[in-house]
Amino acid sequence: MGVSLEGEKVILVPYMKEHVPKYHQWMQDPALLFATGSEPLTLDQEYDMQLSWSQDPLKHTFIVLDKQMIMGEFVHGQPHTEAMVGDVNMYMNDPEDPLFGEIEIMIAEPKSRGKGLGKEAVVMMMAFAVENVGIHTFRAKIGESNQASILLFHKLGFQDSSFSEAFKEWTMELPVTKSNRDYLLQHCADKMVTHSS
């Protein structure tokens, strides 16, 4: 079992097999598949994906829990499916440099959007990645029609680095400088509570 990270509005928990049915249900929505550039999977394929993600050393994946929706006390190791609203991932998928971290965020539950959960989840993932993985540049790939996500990453300081005509998507990057590293460590990592077993 990996760690859980607790922020002000969200708790990021490891993606567990108990989360798969709801995750699979979300990914039946054509709009979400399009926004995230995903292919539809069967339930069995989704279980296989959850297992492979949890074992992949080049991927960190968390389910986003909305703290307001947690029933009772939060317990690390419990899936708390009642409060799952999305996911946040980071892949070290650059074959030439494993310290590039590509971040993806999805707040799948419409009622949980626009409340600052997506932004907080991305910042927490970045703080985790700077502190524990040593990432030196963050990257995000976002479809040109996904204005909400483009604005979210621009707000965090990401800048457009290229546009793919073939995929109709922007690649944005944010280098980790001394000042944004200090900010992530002092204002974000220090405020996050890490739960581990």
Ligand X SMILES: CC(C)(COP(=O)(O)OP(=O)(O)OC[C@H]1O[C@@H](n2cnc3c(N)ncnc32)[C@H](O)[C@@H]1OP(=O)(O)O)[C@@H](O)C(=O)NCCC(=O)NCCS
Check if the beta carbon of residue 138 is closer than 8 Å to that of residue 103.
yes
To ligand X, the closest distance from the beta carbon of 111 in angstroms equals 10
CB hemisphere CA count around 152 (13 angstroms): 23
To ligand X, the closest distance from the beta carbon of 156 in angstroms equals 9
Helix (H) or strand (E) holding 174: strand 169-175
Tokens representing 22 are 């709801």
To ligand X, the closest distance from the beta carbon of 77 in angstroms equals 25
C-alpha 112 chain-centroid distance: 15
**Is the Cβ of residue 50 or residue 149 nearer to ligand X in the bound state?**
149
**Is the Cβ of residue 145 or residue 196 nearer to ligand X in the bound state?**
145
Q: Is 149 in the site for ligand X (CB under 6 A)?
A: yes
Distance CA 149, CA 5 (A): 22
- Residues 150-179, mask of contacts with ligand X (x by CB under 6 A): -xx--x------------------------
Distance CA 142, CA 161 (A): 12
In 3D space, the residue among 51, 134, 47 whose CA is nearest the CA of residue 90 turns out to be: 134
Q: Is 68 in the site for ligand X (CB under 6 A)?
A: no
**Is the Cβ of residue 117 or residue 189 nearer to ligand X in the bound state?**
117
To ligand X, the closest distance from the beta carbon of 17 in angstroms equals 23
Sites for ligand X among residues 85-144 (CB under 6 A): 86, 104-107, 113-119, 142
Q: Is 65 in the site for ligand X (CB under 6 A)?
A: no
Residue from 32, 41, 49, 69 binding ligand X (CB under 6 A) = 32
- To 10 degrees, the CA torsion angle through 66, 30, 125, 188? -50
Q: Is 189 in the site for ligand X (CB under 6 A)?
A: no
